[in-house]
Amino acid sequence: MEYYQIAIDGPSGSGKSTLAKGVAGKLGILYLDTGAMYRACGLKALKLGISTKDQAAVEEMMKDIRIDITHEDGSQHVWLDGEDVSEAIRMPGVSVAASDVSAIPCVREAMVDLQRKISEGKNVILDGRDIGSKVFPNAKYKFFLIADAEERAKRRLAELKEKGVTDQTFEDVLRDIKYRDHQDTTRASSPLVKVEDAVEIDTTHISIEEMIDIVLDRVAKDQ
């Protein structure tokens, strides 16, 4: 049997995880949130007090890191060195730390290997920045999500509020998003790019259901 991958790429807050989770539920396939893995690496650096920009120190840190992904009732859990960090990785400071360490090649290599290993022998939908360009360049379905930065910041702020994080203003979140947009698209190692064979979806003004339908229609056409 041949398995397929659905690649969802795009900048922070463009709706990737909501879309990927929704599609995975409808199709009964595995959803892998790859950003969570980079967040776990960023969190480890913060815990150790390592500068997330210090390539040599991060390389040393990567020699002794264990990241595991488990799925319980359809939701993904991320384990860092045996500890469930699924909630800790969503805290605001971790976003920027994840973006910083994700620019370091040895971090990317380790995470890409892990993503391919987890996806082996399954139909999967992955969201991230380099899924269609690097992790699965031959993925059967590729989508690239975009949305206005202000709209993305609004969504992130609402997510944080829902998690009880109240010390962030709209301006704080917008600044982090712009910082990450710049860094994630300009880094030398697997920058965020829209590959030629990806279908672009502008999510600024469409509902989650509409996004999910665009992907499901595409997949259904093939079955």
Of 35-43, 57-65, 162-170, 214-222, the segment contacting ligand DC by CB under 6 A is: 35-43
Q: How far is the CB of 223 from ligand DC (least distance, A)?
A: 27
Query: CB of residue 95 vs ligand DC: minimum separation in angstroms?
Result: 6
Among 8, 46, 130, 133, binds ligand DC (CB under 6 A): 130
Please, are residues 72 and 153 in contact by the beta-carbon 8 Å criterion?
no
Interaction between residue 141 and ligand DC (CB under 6 A): no
145, 13 Cβ separation under 8 angstroms: no
Distance in Å, CB of 129 to ligand DC, minimum: 4
The piece of 20-28, 80-88, 94-102, 197-205 that touches ligand DC (CB under 6 A) is 94-102
Residue for token pair 């360009």: 133
Q: Which stretch binds ligand DC (CB under 6 A): 31-39, 48-56, 77-85, 213-221?
A: 31-39
Query: Is there binding between residue 142 and ligand DC (CB under 6 A)?
Result: no
How far from 164 is each of 76, 93, 157, 161, 214, CA to CA, in Å? 20, 15, 11, 5, 32
End-to-end Cα separation, the chain, in angstroms: 14
Residue from the set 86, 99, 119, 123 that interacts with ligand DC by CB under 6 A = 99
- Smallest gap from Cβ 61 to ligand DC, in A, equals 16
β-pairing, 75-80 vs 83-84, is: antiparallel
d(CA 87, CA 78): 9
164: left (phi over 0), alpha (psi -120 to 50) or beta: left
Contacting residues toward ligand DC, per CB under 6 A: 12, 34-35, 38-39, 95, 98-99, 102, 128-130, 180, 184
